[in-house]
C-alpha cells in the first residue's frame, strides 16, 4: 500500500466510516486504562512486595507515518512515485521489570532497543523525473513507565515513555548523507504479557513519535522516524 498517498488522504475530512472506526480503535487502550484505574482504587490485600524481571526478544512493524512528515512527499515531487511501502520491519531487545505489593496492580519500567534498515526507491514511469534511492537505518533506545494488572497468567499494561532515536540517511542521486538524532522522542504502549512458567509471550501496540528535520537539505523537510508500532515477542523471566 502506498503509505504516502494515505498520508495525503488522511488530511481531509473524515468520512462517517472513519469517524465510526476511531472509537473502536481507541476502545482497547481505554478499557485497559479503566481496568488499571480500578486496580489503583481497589483496596489492596496484604501481600509481600514482589519484583519480576523479563528479557524479551521482539519483532515488529513500524509505519513511518506522522502528521508532520513531509520528506517523502517532497521526494515524490522531485523523483517520482515511491515504489515501496513506508512500513519497516524492526528487531529488538527489551529488559522489563515491575514490582507489586498488591495481588492486582503493579508498576514497572521497560528499557528497549530496536533497529531497522530499508531502501526506498522513487521512479517516474514517464521518465520526466529523475529517479532516486533513499537508504534509512534507524536505532532506538526507549524507556517506558508501565502500569500492569495481574490477572492470573495474563498481565495487561499501558505505558508512556521517551528515549533516543538515531538515524543514518543517504540519497543516491543527491549529495545528501548524514547521521543525526531526533530532538524529541515519545512513545505510548498498550498490550499484554502471557506467562507460561518462566517463559512468556508479549503482544503490544503503540505510537512512536520521533520527527527529524533534514538539515542537509535547503528546504529542511521533516522525516518521521517512528509511526504506529506493533510487535510480538518471546520473553524469559528471572
Length of the chain equals: 238
Distance of CA 72 to CAs 28, 120, 138, 208, Å?
A: 31, 10, 16, 18
| pLDDT reported for residue 218 | 81
User: pTM surpassing 0.85?
Assistant: no
- List per-block mean pLDDT (blocks of 10 residues) for the chain, which spans 238 residues: 37 40 47 53 59 96 84 93 94 94 88 96 90 96 95 94 96 90 96 96 97 88 94 96
Nearest to 184 by CA among 68, 85, 10: 68
Query: Could you report the per-residue pLDDT of 103-113, keeping only the tens digit for each?
Result: 888 999 999 99
CATH code: domain of residue 213: 2.40.160.20
What 3-state DSSP class applies to 22?
helix
Question: b/e string for 198-219 if b means 16 or more Cβ within 10 A?
Answer: eebebebbbbbbbbbbbeeeee
Query: Could you report the per-residue pLDDT of 176-217, keeping only the tens digit for each?
Result: 899 999 999 999 999 999 999 999 999 999 999 999 999 888
Q: How far apart (Å, rounded) are the C-alpha atoms in residues 156 and 147? A: 8
Question: b/e string for 41-79 if b means 16 or more Cβ within 10 A?
Answer: eeeeeeeeeeebebebebebbbbbbbeebbbbeebbeeb
Q: Which domain holds residue 150?
A: 3-237
Nearest to 191 by CA among 181, 180, 202, 200: 202
Number of domains in the chain: 1
Amino acid at each position: 500500500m502506498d503509505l504516502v498517498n494515505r498520508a495525503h488522504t488522511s488530511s481531509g475530512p473524515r468520512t462517517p466510516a472513519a469517524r465510526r472506526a476511531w472509537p473502536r480503535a481507541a476502545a482497547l487502550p481505554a478499557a485497559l486504562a479503566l481496568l488499571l484505574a480500578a486496580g489503583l482504587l481497589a483496596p489492596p490485600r496484604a501481600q509481600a512486595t514482589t519484583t519480576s524481571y523479563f528479557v524479551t526478544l521482539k519483532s515488529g512493524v513500524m509505519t513511518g507515518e506522522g502528521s508532520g512528515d513531509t520528506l517523502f512527499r517532497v521526494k515524490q515531487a522531485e523523483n517520482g512515485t515511491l515504489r515501496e511501502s513506508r512500513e519497516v520491519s524492526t528487531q529488538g531487545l527489551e529488559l522489563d521489570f515491575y514490582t507489586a505489593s498488591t495481588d492486582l496492580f503493579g508498576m514497572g519500567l521497560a528499557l528497549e532497543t530496536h533497529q531497522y534498515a530499508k531502501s526506498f526507491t522513487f521512479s517516474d514511469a514517464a521518465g520526466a523525473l529523475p529517479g532516486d534511492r533513499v537508504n534509512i537505518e534507524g536505532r532506538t533506545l526507549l524507556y517506558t513507565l508501565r502500569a500492569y494488572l495481574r490477572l492470573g497468567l495474563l498481565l495487561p499494561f499501558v505505558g508512556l515513555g521517551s528515549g533516543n532515536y538515531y538515524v543514518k540517511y543517504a540519497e543516491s542521486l543527491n549529495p545528501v548523507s548524514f547521521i543525526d538524532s531526533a530532538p524529541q522522542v515519545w512513545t505510548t504502549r498498550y498490550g499484554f504479557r502471557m506467562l507460561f512458567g518462566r517463559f512468556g509471550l508479549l503482544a503490544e501496540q503503540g505510537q512512536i513519535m520521533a520527527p527529524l528535520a533534514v538539515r542537509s537539505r535547503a528546504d529542511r523537510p521533516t522525516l518521521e522516524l517512528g509511526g504506529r508500532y506493533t510487535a510480538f515477542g518471546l520473553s524469559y523471566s528471572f
